[in-house]
Amino acid sequence: MSKNEMQIDFTQLANVHFLQNLLVCPLCQARLDFYHDAIACTSCAQKFPQVQKNCIDLLPDHLVENEWNQWGERQQEMEQWYSDLIAIPLHAEWCFANDYTPYAPLLATLSGLVLDIGGGNGVVRHFLPKDVQYILLEPSLEWLATEWTLIAKRYPCMETKPFFVRGIGEYLPFPQQSFDAVLSFWSMNHAHQPEQVFHEVYRVLRAGGRFLVILEDMEPLWRDFAARTYITLGVAHWAHTFVQKLCCLGRQKWSLQNDHVRIQESEIQQWIAGNFQIVRRSWIGQYLTFELQKI
């Protein structure tokens, strides 16, 4: 097979010319050449072997293998959790409904070209407008497993594979100002370098573009308790969180899941300074949610 003739079975945006215009080298943002079994950068000569027909693989493996050992371990733990979840499809359906439904009104306002960083199986498509062009960036190929079609009755979008690009948020394989919106649902806490992800999102967003970030294991501010933000979680959880906050006064660290990295809200304020304005900051359930807009 000759160059630029890839056998990729996409159900959405499955146009080779579209891919050539959209994708760039994740390391240097130069143009890519497409071959039947690999993609190569025209500038830095980095090659990305292609072993799956239903995704584009632009993961810089040498970075992950040589420098990100702990990240790989966290990824494996996360993959196992979701593998156990889909083993009981009804539990998976309930989990996604519980997590995504509160965001449905906000997701329904998105339009244009939307990038989902670490979006897993792409179930968020169920909550997006039909005319949105959706692209999923995800490092784990486990999400392409056929088991996820078991929840297609509840989420019909799962009958088809999303436009799946294998990659990481620290090295987005897209040109600057490509997207109208970027999503990060519970993926930022899995990143190796979250600050770099914020910078990369700024680069690929168009002017005025929106960045929706949902974070786990975040320490609430005292004003969150004063505003009774947690009341939707129930009194027991509110009290538990308040006690945990008091414990932090004794220099104890806020609890953190094993597969997560710690992110402070003060760090986020530094990362977005001069690049994003905060449109909305709120707690939705136990998740700290930011809707940001590129300045």
pLDDT at 259: 83
Is there a domain that residue 251 lies in?
A: no
The per-residue pLDDT for range 216-257, each reduced to its tens digit, is 988 888 788 776 555 555 555 666 676 666 766 666 787 788
Strands 205-215 and 287-294: antiparallel
Question: Residue 12 pLDDT more than 50?
Answer: no
Is there a domain that residue 107 lies in?
A: yes
pLDDT at 153: 96
- Computed over every residue of the chain, the mean pLDDT equals 87
Domain assignment of residue 138, given as a range = 54-218+257-294
Q: Most confidently modeled of 72-86, 106-120, 229-243, 251-265? A: 106-120
Give pTM, 2 decimals. Answer: 0.89
Question: Residue 137 pLDDT more than 60?
Answer: yes
Is there a domain that residue 7 lies in?
A: no
Rounded Cα distance, 140 and 168, in Å: 10
Rounded Cα distance, 289 and 274, in Å: 20
CA 16 vs CA 7, 36, 39, 126: distances in Å: 9, 12, 13, 25
Whose structure tokens read 């945990």? 244
Is there a domain that residue 34 lies in?
A: no
Buried/exposed code over 227-255 (b: 16+ C-beta within 10 A; e: otherwise) = eebbeeeeeeebeebeeebeeeeeeeeee
Say which CATH number the domain at 135 has: 3.40.50.150
Is there a domain that residue 104 lies in?
A: yes
Number of domains in the chain: 1
In a 3-state reduction of DSSP, which class is residue 9? coil
Is there a domain that residue 2 lies in?
A: no
